[in-house]
Amino acid sequence: MKRFLAALSLLLFSPAVVTACDVCFGNPEDPQTKGMAAAIITMLIVVYATLLTIIGFFVYRYFRRRAELAAVQS
């Protein structure tokens, strides 16, 4: 089994197989490269906006609960 995994890893990670795609290796002014960069930026914005929304919700709930407790105690 170890031999099989070693052979498989050599086959999969050999330099002939592991090469950059045209977007990574090619011209930075190519429309395909610009489109890929825009897609990456869009995905980052969506992920961070979602995380900030979730964090903002819990911060809002924390301060709202704190205000409710302060109103009950006084």
Distance separating alpha carbons of residues 40 and 11, to the nearest angstrom: 30
49 to 22, 38, 41, 46, 55: CA distances (angstroms): 30, 16, 12, 5, 10
Strand (E) positions, 1-74? none
Model confidence, pTM: 0.59
Model confidence pLDDT, tens digit, residues 16-63: 655 666 666 677 788 888 888 899 999 999 999 999 999 999 999 999
Query: Rg of the chain over CA atoms, in angstroms?
Result: 25
46 to 8, 20, 32, 41, 54: CA distances (angstroms): 37, 26, 21, 9, 12
